Structure 1
Amino acid sequence: MPPFAPAPIEFPANFLWGAATAAYQVEGSPLADGAGISSWHRFVRTPGRVRDGDTGDIACDHYRRWPEDLQLMRQLGLTSYRFSISWSRILPEGRGRVNPAGLAHYERKVDALLAAGIAPNITLYHWDLPAALDDRGGWLNPDIVEWFGDYAEVLFKALGDRVPMWATLNEPWVITDGGYLHGTLAPGHRSAFEAAIAARRLMGAHGRAVQAFRALVPARPDRPERKIGLVVNIEPKYPASSSVADHAAAARADAYMNRQFLDPALRGQTPPELPEVFGEAWEDWTAEELALARQPLDFVGINYYTRAVVRDDPAVWLQRAAPVRQVQATHTETAWEVYPPGLTDTLLWFKQQYGDLPLYVTENGSAFYDPPTVDGPWLEDPLRVDYLRRHLRALHAARAGGVNLHGYYAWSLLDNLEWAHGYSKRFGLIHVDYATQKRTPKVTAALYAQVIASQGRCLNDTVDPPSAGLLPVSR
């Protein structure tokens, strides 16, 4: 018997409940209304880069169907919607000329969300760099710090009076690791030297955007507080054994993935393990770069999907740390272990490392097999239901442990283009039939609607109600 009973689950009334998407993954119509070409528009057309040759040309058609998707958000009871803006819709050449039609699209969406009582949470950059800037070196060009700052200024001037939450970057580690080290994401490069350089440019751009926000969106007593933060993906690293070598491997992996961007942003320094991790590719950040990266933040967004148990392995590129598959565990379609305690550990780790800065879980979700088409008003997805329920309980445990946590965003609102996986992995609360664009709620969506309506109290139940009773709407 445990020494104490866990506290009953109940989240505060002002806790934000949201869902998240990214522009290139859901919008489709990538060149509509004067938009420029993005790095992903070009990457998906490179043979062998994306599974089945899938592209974002249609995706979920969210660019045209967003009013319909807004109704789904309302039926779920969402209080916030996190989405990204396509840089190349706003600045087709990446800099200079503003595209009024692209800006107007997002203005209409923001106004409609506010009218529906759903707070917009905008990410400035979720991986889709304007191709014109990629041609000039992309995140390797030192000028991109100012290019990004100019882009941010356009949006802050247009939407800063209406949007309460902003994030500068989504998952800078994935941008560098996937895009510049391993070549699995746009722009598809493979260089440790480039990955180290891109990290510095990204954090410079982040700092420049925060400075622009402070100058253009100052706090005022006549409107709700405006916030800006950074979104990082965290994967807690557990050593595979008690050996000194495995503990050192876990520390290297943690520094490379989890602290590489948080330490500059929140401490003005880089993790001491990184010179060993990068070897000859490492170059010390200058004092000016560290000062620019360390800007006062209002929150940090944490994306959590899984953990890693690692062992020392000198053969692994850079980190010399290899993941150890947990054979008895449940794994998602992306081969990620389902490990809800890792979410609690991650949030408590952040508090221990960086203090009580406000946190939001800005992505959390799972890909399990769903059929391409659905007959009936909803789709049964029991594995995803279990994933959501257990992770929300882990979320509450972190709050009970003193974490300054203010909101949760499920990934994702819709099934979508899962980057290099194409349309083969489905994370959505809402099923999308890509051939017809029909939207069908999954039982996970129904559970989430009940969680929101009950402020989490339904998570205290040991048995869920019948599926039909959970559904927010019959379609």
Structure 2
Amino acid sequence: MATRAMPRFPDGFLWGVSTSAHQIEGAADLRGPSVWDLFTDGAGRVRDGSTAAVACDHYHRYPEDVALLADLGVDAYRFSVSWPRADTPGGLDFYDRLTDALCAAGVRPVVTLFHWDLPAALDWLERDTAARFADHAARVAARLGDRVHKWITLNEPAEHTLLGHALGVHAPGRRLLFDALPAAHHQLLAHGLAVRALRAAGAADIGITNSHGPTWAASDDRADTGAADFYDLLLNRLFADPVILGRYPDGMDALMPGDVAADLAVIGEPVDFYGVNYYAPTRVGAPQETASEVGGVPIPPELPFSVREIEGRPLTDFGWPVVPEGLTELLTGFRDRYGAKLPPVVITENGCSYEGLDDQDRIAYLDGHVRALHDAYEAGVDVRGYFVWSLLDNFEWAEGYTRRFGLVDVDRATLARTPKASYGWLREMLREQRG
């Protein structure tokens, strides 16, 4: 346990934890198929050969999980609505029950409308999917809008584009490299259309969540700094600039499909907050002759950059470097880049993968990142909330069940829940914040 007192955040600061539907719900027989069901169907694409057909069985065990949230003492719970489940007759009934249970427990529902589990019949390369998503947003808002505290349109369109459409290591498994950019544009267009649909339905407090991190050049050599600038544009600015500024970075418009100027007027619909998922910086250099790797994902040598190791830092079980001050750097950099146009920021995911119930490394990780977030707040960044990833050990996409991000252990044989030491640490920290 950390011994130094945690600095106090302002009254009204929102503390929460996050999950996603496909990773925890299970009950796959009670919804339509998603691209992830097709991706994991015996194709050998998941490290341990698993699927999310059962996952944590949250669909049936949600009362137990809501009780864990209440005992933890968080203000809010960020969960996603499975689009394939919402499209199933009666599928929204589950989210009605979950939302009611959260409200009864004094936990505010924060809803993400898309967290990568696209219905199998749809395709982000097709423009019509954006309009279909707006319909999905309107339908969910009509059902849950009277109780939802915050709305998040999309989760991490950059990763969904890069990993699912450019490199093929996530669903839907395409290896299109830069030909994947239409999927990025259509997701951003879907975001803007969904903001309009949510507002038309009377919803408020709407944002988007993107994963961001500082990009560090491997050296001062021009080839390395140029590669790092391009990587930063591709993973950070390409997804933040259209939402915050209403425009793409210079030169990117020409790579996008359709009437880009008209679409940007939709994509740039004002949001009430900007969600940031932070895990680590990335050290980037000029291309190399062989593939490099980031977070276990191979980067093909034909791309105009390579990813290098960040040395001298402890690593999580996922092999990600632990760099809390990178969160301060990221947020103050956003403050400097976007100025008054930057909406209030909510950290919608931050967490780490470690084994074991006595997870002191996770405690140290969370302690360091909450302090780094407070440093950003004191530096003038308008930070309104912090959500830990994740409540439960879950189906970690292509890693299956081999990576454990949860504050609560889930036994794979029995699905029994056991709070870890980090759960107790967070509960005590929250009590001190309110003391």
Question: Is residue 2:325 matched to residue 1:341?
Answer: yes
CA change 1:104–1:253 in 2 (3 A) is same
Q: Deviations over 1:292-316 (max 9, x none)?
A: 1111100011000011121122655
- Comparing 169-178 with 308-317, greater Cα deviation is found at 308-317
- Comparing 329-338 with 17-26, greater Cα deviation is found at 329-338
Question: Is residue 2:268 matched to residue 1:294?
Answer: yes
Question: Is residue 2:8 matched to residue 1:30?
Answer: no
How far residue 283 of structure 1 moved from its aligned partner, in angstroms, is: 5.9
**Equivalent residue number for residue 18 of structure 1:** 16
* Paired letter, 1:367: S
Q: Give the whole-Å Cα distance in 1 for the aligned partners of 2:14 and 2:270.
A: 22
Task: Identify the match of residue 402 of structure 1 among 380, 397, 400.
Answer: 380
Q: Give the whole-Å Cα distance in 2 for the aligned partners of 1:286 and 1:380.
A: 51
* Paired letter, 2:7: I
Question: Is residue 2:111 matched to residue 1:115?
Answer: no
* Paired letter, 2:283: V
How far residue 194 of structure 1 moved from its aligned partner, in angstroms, is: 3.8
CA change 1:45–1:423 in 2 (3 A) is same
Q: Give the whole-Å Cα distance in 1 for the aligned partners of 2:246 and 2:76.
A: 31
Q: Deviations over 1:149-194 (max 9, x none)?
A: 1111101111112112000000000110011000011100000354
Provide TM-score, normalisation by structure 2.
0.92
Q: Deviations over 1:90-139 (max 9, x none)?
A: 114xxxxxx2x211110111111111111100000000011122xxxx00
How far residue 334 of structure 1 moved from its aligned partner, in angstroms, is: 1.5
Q: Give the whole-Å Cα distance in 2 for the aligned partners of 1:233 and 1:129.
A: 19
Question: Is residue 2:129 matched to residue 1:128?
Answer: no
Aligned alpha-carbon RMSD (Å): 1.9
* Paired letter, 1:58: V
8 A contact 2:115–2:154 mirrored in 1: yes
Q: What pairs up with 1:371-386 in 2 under 5 angstroms?
A: 379-386=357-364
CA change 1:353–1:323 in 2 (3 A) is same
**Equivalent residue number for residue 369 of structure 1:** 355
Q: Give the whole-Å Cα distance in 2 for the aligned partners of 1:404 and 1:231.
A: 16
**Equivalent residue number for residue 467 of structure 1:** none
8 A contact 1:252–1:273 mirrored in 2: no
**Equivalent residue number for residue 316 of structure 2:** 332
Task: Identify the match of residue 416 of structure 1 among 394, 397, 407.
Answer: 394
Ranges in structure 2 where 5+ consecutive residues have no aligned partner: 290-299
Task: Identify the match of residue 448 of structure 1 among 419, 426, 433.
Answer: 426
- SS of the equivalent of 1:52 reads coil
**Equivalent residue number for residue 303 of structure 1:** 277
Question: Is residue 2:97 matched to residue 1:88?
Answer: no
- SS of the equivalent of 2:317 reads coil
Q: Give the whole-Å Cα distance in 2 for the aligned partners of 1:311 and 1:249.
A: 6
8 A contact 1:39–1:129 mirrored in 2: yes
**Equivalent residue number for residue 460 of structure 1:** none
**Equivalent residue number for residue 465 of structure 1:** none
Q: Give the whole-Å Cα distance in 1 for the aligned partners of 2:199 and 2:350.
A: 29
Provide TM-score, normalisation by structure 1.
0.85
- SS of the equivalent of 2:124 reads helix
Q: Give the whole-Å Cα distance in 1 for the aligned partners of 2:84 and 2:302.
A: 33
Task: Identify the match of residue 236 of structure 1 among 206, 214, 227.
Answer: 214
Q: What pairs up with 1:242-281 in 2 under 5 angstroms?
A: 242-272=220-250, 274=252
Task: Identify the match of residue 389 of structure 1 among 352, 367, 374.
Answer: 367
Task: Identify the match of residue 72 of structure 2 among 56, 72, 76.
Answer: 76
- SS of the equivalent of 2:348 reads strand
Task: Identify the match of residue 304 of structure 2 among 320, 333, 342.
Answer: 320
8 A contact 1:255–1:274 mirrored in 2: no
* Paired letter, 2:69: M
Q: Give the whole-Å Cα distance in 2 for the aligned partners of 1:369 and 1:297.
A: 37
**Equivalent residue number for residue 66 of structure 1:** 62
Q: Give the whole-Å Cα distance in 1 for the aligned partners of 2:251 and 2:95.
A: 41
Q: What pairs up with 1:427-466 in 2 under 5 angstroms?
A: 427-455=405-433
Q: Give the whole-Å Cα distance in 1 for the aligned partners of 2:422 and 2:45.
A: 31
CA change 1:247–1:129 in 2 (3 A) is same
Q: Give the whole-Å Cα distance in 1 for the aligned partners of 2:177 and 2:136.
A: 28
- Comparing 165-174 with 233-242, greater Cα deviation is found at 233-242
- SS of the equivalent of 2:316 reads coil
Q: Give the whole-Å Cα distance in 2 for the aligned partners of 1:354 and 1:7.
A: 32
How far residue 284 of structure 1 moved from its aligned partner, in angstroms, is: 8.3
8 A contact 2:13–2:385 mirrored in 1: yes
CA change 1:177–1:285 in 2 (3 A) is farther
Question: Is residue 2:40 matched to residue 1:44?
Answer: yes
- SS of the equivalent of 2:28 reads coil
**Equivalent residue number for residue 357 of structure 1:** 343
* Percentage of pairs with the same residue: 43
Q: Give the whole-Å Cα distance in 2 for the aligned partners of 1:129 and 1:176.
A: 12
Q: Give the whole-Å Cα distance in 1 for the aligned partners of 2:166 and 2:364.
A: 34
Q: Deviations over 1:277-336 (max 9, x none)?
A: xxx966686211211111110001100001112112265557522222123211112111
Q: Give the whole-Å Cα distance in 1 for the aligned partners of 2:419 and 2:160.
A: 31
How far residue 8 of structure 1 moved from its aligned partner, in angstroms, is: 7.1
**Greater C-alpha Rg:** 1
Q: Give the whole-Å Cα distance in 1 for the aligned partners of 2:166 and 2:301.
A: 10
- Comparing 245-254 with 18-27, greater Cα deviation is found at 245-254
Q: Give the whole-Å Cα distance in 1 for the aligned partners of 2:284 and 2:185.
A: 26
* Paired letter, 1:73: L
How far residue 244 of structure 1 moved from its aligned partner, in angstroms, is: 2.5
* Paired letter, 1:293: I
8 A contact 1:250–1:310 mirrored in 2: yes
